[in-house]
Amino acid sequence: MTVISRIAAATTLALFLIAGSAHAQGASVAFGGLKHDASQPVEITADELTVDQATGSAVFTGNVVAGQGEMRLSAGRVQVQYATENGQATGRIDQLVATGNVTLVNGAEAAEAEKAVYSVGGSQIVMTGNVILTQGINALSGEKLTVDLTSGSGRMEGRVRTIFQTGGNK
């Protein structure tokens, strides 16, 4: 399934989620497909790059795609913040802050949100703002999704809504 078809499926499922289904304030979910090795190199492509040596950051804008192994993070804007030692940038990525139509895809799982912060050293992604997660034919929505990429576990918070497909009638 392509990224575009995953997004279309997530959008369709979002309409069902808004119409009402199971409600909760928070839910723990297994994210086996989002299990990931954060030590792999990060490759970023974009239409434009602006670097600020003083703050130790780089901003990619326009059709940004950040890839690390099987995982892909796309957004309108991604700010790369570098780790520092003694006030100097080390060249090692500390975190990626993505905004504007953020989509995270890894394996059969995809998530969309308004913002995502990927802490590379901590192997954690926090997605906020109208989050939609699809896992195969199932979907979850909420306001905040926190994923531990090392363990493959996560937590959806903020008026969680879900649709679980049961296989249908035969």
Work out the average pLDDT over 25-29.
58
Q: How far apart are CA 1 and CA 7, in angstroms?
A: 10
- Quote the CATH superfamily of domain 3-163: Lipopolysaccharide (LPS) transport protein A like domain (2.60.450.10)
Q: Are 24 and 128 in contact (CB under 8 A)?
A: no
- Tell me: the pLDDT tens digits for 97-139? 999 999 999 888 899 999 999 999 888 999 999 999 998 888 9
**Which residues are bridge partners to 162 per DSSP?**
22, 140
The H-assigned helical ranges of 46-142 are: none
End-to-end CA distance of the chain: 25
The percent of residues in the chain predicted with pLDDT above 70, rounded, is 78
- Tell me: the pLDDT tens digits for 48-80? 999 987 777 899 999 999 999 889 999 999 999
For the entire predicted model, the pTM comes to 0.77
Flag whether pLDDT at 161 surpasses 90: yes
Residue 99: predicted pLDDT: 98
